[in-house]
Amino acid sequence: MFSFLRSFFAYFRLGLSKHFYYRGSIFLGMLSRMTSIFFVFFLWLKVYEGKGEIAGMTLNSVVTYYLFGQIARIMTSPLIANTIGQRIADGMMQIYLLRPRIFLAGFFSMPLAKRLYQVFFFSVFIFFVVYFVYPRYGMILGHLDLINFSILLILGMVLSFILSCLLASSALWIIQSGPVLNGYNTISSILSGTTIPLAFFPGWMKTFVNVLPFRYMVDVPVRALQGTLSSSEMISSYISIVVWIICGVIINKLVWNVGLKKFDAVGN
């Protein structure tokens, strides 16, 4: 356990050093994201013009949901699946399979460093939007809500990583797994509540989304932050996400055990 933690923090420090060196690239990438979000922000202002609530959400709650939903999306992004899939396609996965500790530490902690850099830049952007661009819609966040948001977000990161590994295993059967992984990225963005709050979905689609794991990556943590989850919903969310994580680990183990029988370590 201690050796794993040492590896984890070693890769995390390596990731921090690497991304600090390339901080200009990260900043430009976040600037592009912020620009698009800035225009979406004014789109919501137009949608709510002359309206108090839509689907039970005020403009203030939508702005909070959308901005913190972007933070949750950054932290739970499934793009690591593309990296793992590429390693499999290149025949380089055997390095990680022989040393599972490196697999977990390298593919989880190094991207975590980059995501924290992105969250830092984005937090500055949120402060600018809330207190300078549209100050009359300030955010009041409780300490308990922040704690629940943080815990659920960490659990969402773990769940996203597990699902990403599961999707990446498709590269063991498919030569070009990129379209599958990119399609998953788009679907998870929509069904997690990143693109639009799940409250705006029609009833039948909400029922469908509620039985899937995606909402625990964005929608549930952000709603916990806003304090809109009841005590029973909060408890249910914690139980459900833990169950999804356990099931994901079991399914991953089964799928990878079958897939590795087809794996050929051929590449550069």
Give the HSE-up count for residue 135: Cα atoms under 13 Å, Cβ half-sphere. Answer: 2
Confidence of residue 96 (pLDDT cuts 50, 70, 90): low
Per-residue confidence (pLDDT) for residue 209, from 0 to 100: 92
Mean predicted lDDT score pLDDT of the chain: 79
Provide the pLDDT for residue 268: 47
Name the more confident of 54 and 133.
Answer: 54
**Model confidence over 210-248: pLDDT tens digits?**
999 999 999 999 999 988 888 899 999 999 999 999 999
**pTM for the predicted model, two decimal places:** 0.82
Looking at residue 164, its pLDDT comes to 86
